[in-house]
Structure 1
C-alpha cells in the first residue's frame, strides 16, 4: 500500500467498513486500534463509520434506537436494510436477556439473604387491584 498517498472514503469498500465496525463493536479492537491496524489515516474516519453503520450509540447523546427514531421523525433517516434491522434487534434481544438475568439474580439474593419471598406475577396481570364502582 502506498503510504504517501492520501486516501478518501471512496477508497474503502462498504464490506471493509462493516467488517471494521463489527470488530470494534464486538470489543475486539478500539476504534483507534482499528485505525492503526488497518492504516486508516483520518482520525475520525472509524468513528464516522461507527456512527453510520454501527448498532451501538457512538453519538454520545441518545441510544441508537432513539437516535434513529428521532431522525426518522425528522425525515433524515435512511431506510435500514433487513440485515441492519436484524443486527439491531439482536442487540436489543441480547440486552433484554442480560437485564432478565440481572433481575433473576437480584431476586435470588433477596430471597436467600433476606428471607423475603418474591412472587412473580404472570405476564398480563396488573399488580393494582381494580376497583369496581357499582
Structure 2
C-alpha cells in the first residue's frame, strides 16, 4: 500500500473550528474528562493557545491563573478550582452590584428629565393611576 508523499500542512485558526466543536471541547475539559494538553492531541488542535482561547471565551470558569494539571483530582487541584470559582462568583457579584447601582442612577436621571419636560412643556408624561377602581371596572363588578 502506498503512502501519500506530499502531505501538506494546513494552518488552522480558532475561526476554523465550529461553535459546537468549541463548546464540546470546553465541556469535556470542565467536566474533568480531559485536560488542556490532552485535548490538543485528541482533537488535533495545533496550538495550546487555541484551547486556552476557547476556555477563556466559552467557559464559566476562570482559567488565567491555572497551569496544565493532570486529570486526577487531587486536593490541591480541588482547592485551586474552588478558589477560582470563588473569584468568579466575586466578579459576578461585583458586576451585579455595579449594574444595580447604574440602573438606580438611570431611574433618578429619567425622573429628573420627566420632571423638567413636564414643567417646560406643561404636559403630563407620567400616568397617574389612582388606587380606586376605574368607572368601567365598577360597572363590570355591578353586573356580576
TM-score (norm 1): 0.46
Larger relative contact order, structure 1 or 2 (CA cutoff 8 Å, min sep 6): 2
- Give the structure-2-normalised TM-score: 0.43
Name the larger-Rg structure.
2
